Amino acid sequence: MTKNPHARFPALRMRRPRATAWSRRLFQENALSPSDLIQAVILIEGNKVREPIDAMPGMHRLSVDQAIELAKEAQGLGIPALALFPFTDSNARTPDGEEALNSDNLMCRAARAIKHAVPDIGLMADVALDPYTDHGHDGLLRDGDIVNDETVKILVEQANIMAAAGYDIVAPSDMMDGRVGAIRTGLDKAGFQHVQIMAYAAKYASAFYGPYREAIGSAGILQGDKRTYQMDPANSDEALREVALDLAEGADSVMVKPGLAYLDIVRRVKDEFGAPTFAFQVSGEYAMIKAAAGNGWLDGERAMLESLIAFKRAGANGIITYFAVEAARLLRKNMA
Ligand code: PBG
């Protein structure tokens, strides 16, 4: 493993480069910059609304005007993009999630307003039905089954509606088979050749999504679990097959999700394909750090930055995280 098998203690002293701050900086192998971060944003209807999310201390559901303010700050900090997610009240949800196809829904209005106010920030949208279904699943539920091909048809429409509203990246997070290729074909047919697809390629059936489901209003309503479409946390080779498929179907970038517990997958995907690879540091990861920091059990800022650099070290090109603005502020302060 070592490239210099001859150097041994005491000629070789690994502590030598660690002795001073300048030298530690010089020897640093990976760096985190605001350009690596995509801020995850939870939207809510209304005006001047900043509603705290209980399970995610420090995070708020933001009305569109507030999301615009956040977009301005993110842009000023050098954050390239935002990933938007809608809170949907249970009375606006239906069995088939029709609101997903309403071109005037919260997601579409938010994209238009943010693009108008902050034209140079990238905007990303999930393609999946879970914010809109009354059962909380990402696809259509028929006799206890999440039906694949019928769902994909709707996702294609949803992606086109998002693209028309101004989203730069559509990110299928539903884990239906064949959806990346179908969405690519649909986008191209509708004249959205420039819109990117970031595939949630290796997305695991994870307990770490818990706080997000509260954040978007899915918490109490999810029937069963998502194990018939999301991956088994025990699997690793399967992630490579998922990624291979999504790249072959035209994904511009792929994502591994959740983040910290799946860094081995990030590394394997990066090494195997060399494709643009992103990690999603999900709601539960954010909640764990915030909760421990809130109790004084760890240094929240240091834990945040350490968790983020870990993704870079594992080979990720970027990280979708609820910490983006907070981390970028800190990075900027540390640079000054
Ligand atoms: C839904 C979706 C989920 C997340 C992003 N998109 C949750 C799920 O699959 O149940 C999780 C985000 C997070 O936990 O931060 N398609």
The whole-number average pLDDT for the span 209-237 is: 94
Q: Among residues of the chain, what percentage have pLDDT more than 90?
A: 94
Is residue 335 very low, low, confident or very high in pLDDT (cuts 50, 70, 90)?
A: confident
CA distances from 95 to 98, 103, 222, 258 (A): 8, 19, 12, 27
Q: Is 286 in the pocket of ligand 1 (CB under 6 A)?
A: no
How crowded is the C-beta side of 34, counted as CA atoms within 13 Å?
22
User: To test ligand 1's pocket by mutation, which of 209, 225, 229, 319 has the most ligand atoms within 8 angstroms of CB?
Assistant: 209
Which atom belonging to ligand 1 lies closest to the Cα atom of 173? Answer: 16
d(CA 255, CA 171): 9
Encode pLDDT of 150-167 as tens digits.
999 999 999 999 999 999
Give residue 115's pLDDT.
98
Encode pLDDT of 34-45 as tens digits.
999 999 999 999
Q: Is 130 in the pocket of ligand 1 (CB under 6 A)?
A: yes
User: To test ligand 1's pocket by mutation, which of 155, 282, 283, 285 has the most ligand atoms within 8 angstroms of CB?
Assistant: 282
Give the right CATH number for 34-335 from 3.40.50.720, 2.60.40.10, 3.40.50.80, 3.20.20.70: 3.20.20.70
The closest residue, in CA terms, to atom 2 on ligand 1 is 173
Q: Is the pLDDT at 219 greater than 90, yes or no?
A: no
Q: Nearest-CA neighbor of 100 among 47, 175, 172, 176?
A: 172
Distance 257 CA to ligand 1 centre (A): 9
Distance 212 CA to ligand 1 centre (A): 6
Q: Nearest-CA neighbor of 127 among 149, 105, 90, 157?
A: 157
Give residue 113's pLDDT.
98
Q: Is 128 in the pocket of ligand 1 (CB under 6 A)?
A: yes
The whole-number average pLDDT for the span 81-91 is: 95
Give residue 336's pLDDT.
76
Which atom belonging to ligand 1 lies closest to the Cα atom of 286? Answer: 15
Cα 216 to its chain centre, rounded Å, is: 14
Residue 190 DSSP label: T
Per domain, the residue ranges of the chain are 34-335
Is residue 223 very low, low, confident or very high in pLDDT (cuts 50, 70, 90)?
A: confident
Q: Is 326 in the pocket of ligand 1 (CB under 6 A)?
A: no
Q: Is the pLDDT at 84 greater than 70, yes or no?
A: yes
Which atom belonging to ligand 1 lies closest to the Cα atom of 203? Answer: 9
Q: Is the pLDDT at 1 greater than 70, yes or no?
A: no
Q: Give the residue numbers marked as catalytic.
A: 203, 257
Distance 208 CA to ligand 1 centre (A): 9
Q: Is the pLDDT at 5 greater than 80, yes or no?
A: no
Give residue 282's pLDDT.
98
Average pLDDT of every residue of the chain: 97
Encode pLDDT of 110-146 as tens digits.
999 999 999 999 999 999 999 999 999 999 999 999 9
The whole-number average pLDDT for the span 20-46 is: 98
DSSP, residue by residue, 87-155: ---GGG-BTT-GGGG-TTSHHHHHHHHHHHHSTTSEEEEEE-STTTBTT--SSEEETTEEEHHHHHHHH
**Percent helix / strand / coil, the chain, rounded to 5:** 45, 20, 35
The whole-number average pLDDT for the span 226-246 is: 98
Q: Nearest-CA neighbor of 106 among 128, 124, 85, 90?
A: 85
- Tell me the whole-structure pTM to 2 decimals: 0.97
Q: Is the pLDDT at 316 greater than 70, yes or no?
A: yes
| Residue 28 in tokens | 């640093």
